[in-house]
Amino acid sequence: MIRFLLNDQPRDIEYIAPDLTILEYLRTIEVQRGTKEGCASGDCGACTLVLAEPSEEPGKLLYRSINSCITFVGSLHGKQLITVEHLQQGQQLHQTQQAMVECHGSQCGFCTPGFVMSLFALSKNSGVCEFDPQASNGEAPGNQPVNPEQRHQINLALGGNLCRCTGYRPIMDAAAQVLADVQPDQFDARQAEVWQQLMDIRTAQAPMAGLTDPGCPVKPLTERRFFSPQTLAELVELLARYPQARLVAGGTDLALERTQQLKPLDVLVYTGAVAEMQQLTLTDETLIIGGAVSYSRMASTLQLVLPEFASMMERLGALQVRNQGTMAGNVANASPIGDTPPVLLALDALLHVDSAEGQQTLPVNGFFTGYRQTTLPKGAVISAIEIPLNKSDWFRRVYKVSKRLEDDISAVLAAIMFKVENGLILDARLAFGGVAATPLRVVAAEQALIGQPATLAGISAAQQILKQTLTPLTDVRASAEYRLQLTQNLLTRALLEFQQQANSDGSASVALEVGHYA
Amino acid sequence: MRKVELQGASSPENELTLATNPSAIPNGIAGLDLVSGPVGKPSRHESAIQHVTGAARYVDDLIEPANGLFAAVIRSPIARGTITRMDLEPVRKSPGVVCVLTVDDVLGHTDIGPVFPGDPIMTSTEVKFFGQCLAVVAATSELAARRAAQAAILEFEREEPLLDAREAVASQQLVRPSHVMTMGDVDSALASSHQVLEAMQEVGGQEHFYLEGQVSLAMPTEDGGMLVYTSSQHPSEVQKLVAEVLALPLNRVTVDMRRMGGGFGGKESQAAQWACLAALLASKTGRAVKLRLPRQDDMIMTGKRHPFANSYRIGIDEAGRITAADIEVIGNCGNSPDLSDAIVDRAMFHADNAYFLGNARIAGHRAFSNQVSHTAYRGFGGPQGMMIIERAMDDIARAVGKDPLDIRKLNLYGTEQSEPERTLTPYHQTVEFNYLPQLIEQLETSSDYRARRVAIRQFNQHSPILKRGLALTPVKFGISFTLQHLNQAGALIHIYTDGSIQVNHGGTEMGQGLHTKVGQIVAQTLGVELERIVVTATRTDKVPNTSPTAASSGTDLNGKAAQNAALTLRQRLVEFLAAEKTVSPEAIRFENGRVSWGGSEDMSFAELVQAAYVGRVSLSATGYYRTPKIWYDRTNARGRPFFYFALGAAVSEVVVDTLTGEYRVTRVDILHDVGRSINPAIDRGQIEGGFIQGMGWLTTEELVWHADGRLLSNNPATYKIPAIGDTPPVFNVALFEHENDEATVYNSKAVGEPPFMLAISVWSALRDAISSLSDYRLSPDLDTPATPERVLKAVMAVQAQCAQNGMTGGAV
């Protein structure tokens, strides 16, 4: 059984399909249809809802937006699910709704509930910027143009919500209006009470949270279950007991098997409630990121020690995906176009792998063996990712190139890092996504950099090697030729940026990336 | 300058300003006061509250009747071939399945082509495109129906698909005959030109990506008829086609359409198939049936904006003025005519955009391909036609070494005052009321074009990697359906005894604010508050025989029809009150929900209505409107297809990364002509939304087909419409307020489509940035969408050509 709050109503659910999405649940079982399906693949945000979870600070809840179309009901245990129908009080619209109305933020209205929910989450987190703790604290006065920092904050919050009608300007205005003066609301008033309710659910002595399908029309004899273990030991035991089980971390890719290919997912094991996998540990030497830590949660820590990684991550999926997705999931998924594996390769990261046999540590270098194939043993889980922080004196860049700035999959992702002393490259890492069947470190090109001067001439041999050794595909996102050209040109860009940084004598530098210019 | 108070649009840079003509005297309906009243006010969308609370119901949100069924479509996995085996037994045996139908089960018509035949509702023989509908299944849940559809066993004899439009024209595989418009003697004018330029251009198509996908809910009625809830821009056509496939008279079929979650043309003709399939299943099972296309099915099975293959040969004089233009536009129509005849015509009608061509030959071809039948999309071919002449403008500028803006201004149509001999279009309509020279001048100043041009040239000289580009492009868009009979509309107004008013008209609400504007028009005409009016769902049993809500005509046609109905009711009330109070009808005024008849006496509108009811006055009236002045003789390609032209211009600035082809649009300034605005907030919404949608079309939105004819960009993970970060940080929009010289409703102008084409300025600015690599001597090819990949390709081509010619290049 799982227990959660649907707005302010408790729900106990035991018998339900384990692969039912929250969106399907709301629209067909609860018959609450304010939440819309735009794509059922987590790409448009029309189904955005907000989850409230207890924070470590007593009485305080954390609010985060999610795509309900690719989130399973089973993951709701111990959480509050807030839907668009619940924001208004009687005839009184919530501040976020009122702002959307006043700014003419809706035209056809179909994307609007999703925008309202993202805006609601933004208003709840207005003092907590996802990536840059220095960014605007929402003090912008109402009559000023949306300033760049605030615009950036709004773009991060709403980048996963597509609108085809408005061109977004009025929605941007509505968001700025809300951020200028966030009003206390009924959620604030009940926050402590809800916090306690959710804590009570979470600490109740009960069997492991989970769901059981009452009867599956497709495979009547198959056991169909959703498990939400609370410890790593429980988790690996489940994996041993159910060899067919699929792990759900963020589930932002796994859910598409169900919503797009319509495959039943019979046994699901959710990592989100496993205490050990929620740890985020930063020391002088390493950053250890628990396997269930979402991208959003790791953002501010990454910003401290690996800012180039953090700023790329602002463009990994959209906020709804970053609120769910995990780095461990990205690695285990082993897609050649995943955004974090090339960076982890360049950083010489290690994977903590747990199974019924015990724990082992695998270097990420060598982990990817073929298209979506890894050396992860059967019945094992990536419980954490360990990033050595031994490249602080390296020049490090992470570049993502895609058709669209926000919420797009890379044509090429490049992690380029080198250590230079006295003008000579002493060591280097070149890792790419989108150029082969796996995320790839190009050791031969790294070798060609070592000993060379940090100049355009010095990198040309490495560029030749990239050109000769990489074998990208032509697909819907980019041609092989473009990808190959990008790998070389991005190395050029990194070198130019290095030179600019090295020569920075106070004279104005010239922008080299459109993102820096615009 | 009059500032319009708009909530939330308060920042100085984003201020909405109206450039008013102080001498303009309202010349609307006599006796109506435009100073007070709802017309001209930025009222919120009539459904805004329902939108933000989730209360607004779309078809998929309606509670299905008990024991209702859910349908899914079985679609072809190949683009061309013959079906050799279609075993649907596994589908029938799937859990929950109630009914499976093929084309052989259709009693009535099997071809649902909207204008010309060619669109079989399903096929069991020949397959002409990837995603073609083969069969349809109804089951007790949506998931059961979709899973069952996967179980079909299909075998084909495959054939090589035809995908290339130029190849289709070369082999004369056309869905409709070609058409040519001529003016003057092109060949001799070209021969005597100072210089002749030539170029080819590929313009990509566009997925509509309305957030609400195609959906219909069909419910059988007691008399064997059908009630259909649908998401369609053309309920009357849905009614007709449902009746035809069911072999019923039209009066047995009712179509109800409250709102769409976006249409953009994609639900003009292509909403009908899903309604027809749902109705067939409902008719067969006697149960309600809902058919909603999942996003991927929607993207695969419904037509797009036509990709075009264009070319020009243009003669110019020494100054860069066009003396002759030989233009060819080829629309890739897909496998059937659908609306392509009119779409390619409209591309031809706009291949001149705002420019006088002197001597012209404009040829338009309708190429067949083994793709889904491409269909209406905002602009209806107009944007694709404009692209070729806007390319030419930039090319001419590089050829003669001038600023592209000067070349554009030099080539504009004349006005009645200046160069009236330069006002004839290639289809022999005279351009009247051409305010573009004035409008462009105003925008050039307000956007600081010249100073920015200088600054950008300087920046580009000192920036090795990033290059900025700037462009101003105009739009002149013809308003009216080119199919003349569609230019008519009806409305129905009821006044109830409490003074509340219900309005119904033939137009459909897809987010564009049509119901809001029509409500404002009726409220203005009756002198009542907007809150007193409810505009109800479009229904074929209320206002019959309607035209699609398309061609930007929604308010022009339906607003006028509703106004006419309101005037009829007003006249009845005036006559009644004049008799009651024995005053002259001229003394009676309706304002703000009160009615006065001279002196100090007045009464509320509700009191008057109550009295009129007791006095046995009919409080319900219809209204009708048809557009005057328009005609077109297609055989001779001459006439006046357009009642008037909507005008506008935009200045866009971009910055391009010459290492990756990535770019950003950093600033956009728009001045757009909406006549006298009925609702400036809604008009601004159409301008901004149209612009961003147009920008998506020309930049990130790339349709990719596999060589075997499959659409690869078939979901939002692979097809990228603009997101919030793509909206330029500086986005200044102003309305060029000049009341329409033609007698449209409150002298407003249509606004749905024209702003879409303002986005051509983004594409032109990208070319400008790339051209800077050659010190503005080369005019790069840049097919659309101009993805970062295509931009980098153009950058490298210019760099290579510069290197070859020993020119100053911009390479690192």
The CA–CA distances, whole Å, from B746 to B14, B26, B517, B565, B686 equal 26, 8, 11, 15, 18
Task: Choose the final residue of a domain: B272, B301, B330.
Answer: B301
Query: Packing angle between helix B382-400 and helix B340-349, nearest 10 degrees?
Result: 30
- Do residues B430 and B459 both lie within one domain? yes
Q: Are B347 and B307 in contact (CB under 8 A)?
A: no
How much helix, strand and coil, in percent to the nearest 5, is found in chain B? 35, 25, 40
Left, alpha or beta for B629 (phi > 0: left; psi -120 to 50: alpha)?
left
Query: What pLDDT does residue B795 have?
Result: 98
Question: In the structure, what pLDDT confidence band is assigned to residue B36 with cuts at 50, 70 and 90?
Answer: confident
E strand or H helix that includes residue A144: none
If DSSP codes are grouped into helix, strand and coil, which group holds residue B157? strand
- Cβ distance B693 to A167 less than 8 Å, yes or no, reads yes
Instruction: Using CB atoms, pick whichever of A87, A106, A262 lies closest to residue B48.
Output: A106
Say if residue B28's pLDDT is above 50. Answer: no
Domain containing residue B329: CATH number: 3.30.365.10
Q: Is B123 part of a structural domain of the chain?
A: yes
Which residue from B49, B51, B6, B35 is spatially nearest to B681, judged by alpha carbons?
Answer: B6
The radius of gyration computed from the CA coordinates of chain B, to the nearest angstrom, equals 27
- Cβ distance A159 to B724 less than 8 Å, yes or no, reads yes
Segment B660-681 mean pLDDT? 97
Domain extents in chain A = 2-86+189-270, 95-184, 276-388, 398-517
Which chain A positions have a beta carbon within 8 Å of B466's beta carbon?
510-514, 517
Q: CA of B663: which chain A residue's CA is closest?
A: A514
**Residue B774: count of CB within 10 angstroms of its CB:** 20
How far is residue B274's CA from residue B296's CA, in Å, rounded to a whole number?
A: 15
Which residue from A417, A388, A384 is spatially nearest to A287, judged by alpha carbons?
Answer: A388
- Cβ distance B727 to A167 less than 8 Å, yes or no, reads yes
- Do residues B356 and B383 both lie within one domain? yes
- Do residues B509 and B592 both lie within one domain? yes
Which chain A positions have a beta carbon within 8 Å of B147's beta carbon?
218, 262
Say if residue B13's pLDDT is above 60. Answer: no
Left, alpha or beta for A479 (phi > 0: left; psi -120 to 50: alpha)?
beta
The pair of structure tokens assigned to B361 is 């030959």
Alpha helices in A327-449 (DSSP H): 327-333, 340-346, 443-449
Instruction: Using CB atoms, pick whichever of B211, B704, B726 lies closest to residue A44.
Output: B211
- Do residues B129 and B277 both lie within one domain? yes
User: Looking at the complex, does the CB of residue A489 fall below 8 Å from at least one CB of chain B?
Assistant: yes
Query: What pLDDT does residue B22 have?
Result: 34
Alpha helices in B27-76 (DSSP H): 48-53
Q: Is B4 part of a structural domain of the chain?
A: no
Q: Sheet containing B126-127: which strands, arranged edge to edge?
A: B126-127, B81-87, B153-158
The CA–CA distances, whole Å, from B555 to B42, B244, B262 equal 16, 30, 17
- Cβ distance A165 to B12 less than 8 Å, yes or no, reads no
Alpha helices in B555-670 (DSSP H): 560-581, 605-614
If DSSP codes are grouped into helix, strand and coil, which group holds residue B724? helix
Size of interface A-B (CB pairs under 8 A): 302
Q: How far is CA B808 from the centre of its chain?
A: 43
Interface of A with B in 103-162 (CB under 8 A): 103-113, 116, 142-146, 148, 151, 154-155, 158-162
Burial zone of B771 (CB within 10 Å; 0-12 exposed, 13-18 middle, 19+ buried): buried
Which chain B positions have a beta carbon within 8 Å of A88's beta carbon?
53
**Residue A506: count of CB within 10 angstroms of its CB:** 5
Instruction: Using CB atoms, pick whichever of A110, A159, A518 lies closest to residue B58.
Output: A110
In this structure, whether the domain defined by A2-86+189-270 belongs to CATH 3.10.20.30 is answered with yes
Task: Choose the final residue of a domain: B266, B301, B336.
Answer: B301
CATH number of the A398-517 domain: 3.30.390.50
E strand or H helix that includes residue B498: none
User: Looking at the complex, does the CB of residue A165 fall below 8 Å from at least one CB of chain B?
Assistant: yes
- Cβ distance B211 to A36 less than 8 Å, yes or no, reads yes
- Do residues B256 and B342 both lie within one domain? no
- Cβ distance A168 to B717 less than 8 Å, yes or no, reads no
How far is residue B536's CA from residue B260's CA, in Å, rounded to a whole number?
A: 13
Is the pTM of the predicted complex or chain greater than 0.90?
yes
- Do residues B33 and B68 both lie within one domain? no
Looking at the DSSP assignment, which residues form a beta bridge with residue B495? B501
- Cβ distance B12 to A37 less than 8 Å, yes or no, reads no
The pair of structure tokens assigned to B586 is 């001229």
Architecture of domain A95-184: Orthogonal Bundle (1.10)
The pair of structure tokens assigned to B538 is 């479009």
Task: Choose the final residue of a domain: B626, B657, B692.
Answer: B626
Say if residue B7's pLDDT is above 50. Answer: no
- Do residues B276 and B319 both lie within one domain? no
- Cβ distance A218 to B211 less than 8 Å, yes or no, reads no
What range does the domain containing B232 cover? 64-160+209-301
Which chain A positions have a beta carbon within 8 Å of B705's beta carbon?
none
How far is residue B402's CA from residue B414's CA, in Å, rounded to a whole number?
A: 21
Say if residue B292's pLDDT is above 50. Answer: yes
Give A240→chain B minimum CA distance, Å: 30
How far is residue B389's CA from residue B392's CA, in Å, rounded to a whole number?
A: 5
Domain total for chain B? 3
Which residue from A332, A466, A490, A358 is spatially nearest to A412, judged by alpha carbons?
Answer: A490
Q: Is B754 part of a structural domain of the chain?
A: yes
How far is residue A19's CA from residue B55's CA, in Å, rounded to a whole number?
A: 28
* Cis ω for the linkage preceding A217 (within 30 of 0): no
Element counts in chain B: helices (H) and strands (E): 20, 31
User: Looking at the complex, does the CB of residue B365 fall below 8 Å from at least one CB of chain A?
Assistant: no
Give catalytic residue positions of B.
Answer: 753
Which chain A positions have a beta carbon within 8 Å of B51's beta carbon?
100, 106, 109, 112-113
State the CATH class of domain A276-388: alpha beta
User: Looking at the complex, does the CB of residue B53 fall below 8 Å from at least one CB of chain A?
Assistant: yes
Tens of pLDDT along chain A (518 residues)? 999 999 999 999 999 999 999 999 999 999 999 999 999 999 999 999 999 999 999 999 999 999 999 999 999 999 999 999 999 999 999 999 999 999 999 999 999 999 999 999 999 998 754 444 343 333 333 334 578 999 999 999 999 999 999 999 999 999 999 999 999 999 999 999 999 999 999 998 777 888 988 865 555 556 899 999 999 999 999 999 999 999 999 999 999 999 999 999 999 999 999 999 999 999 999 999 999 999 999 999 999 999 999 999 999 999 999 999 999 999 999 999 999 999 999 999 999 999 999 999 999 999 999 999 999 999 999 999 999 999 999 999 999 999 999 999 999 999 999 999 999 999 999 999 999 999 999 999 999 999 999 999 999 999 999 999 999 999 999 999 999 999 999 999 999 999 998 887 655 678 888 988 76
* Residue in B51, B94, B215, B683 to test binding to A, most A beta-carbons within 10 Å: B51
- Do residues B359 and B274 both lie within one domain? no
If DSSP codes are grouped into helix, strand and coil, which group holds residue B579? helix
Which chain B positions have a beta carbon within 8 Å of A179's beta carbon?
none
| pLDDT tens per residue, range B106-154 | 999 999 999 999 999 999 999 999 999 999 999 999 999 999 999 999 9
DSSP 8-state class, residue B559: I
Which chain A positions have a beta carbon within 8 Å of B722's beta carbon?
167-168, 404
- Do residues B449 and B333 both lie within one domain? yes
- Do residues B321 and B439 both lie within one domain? yes
**Is beta strand A412-421 parallel, antiparallel or unpaired with respect to A395-401?**
antiparallel
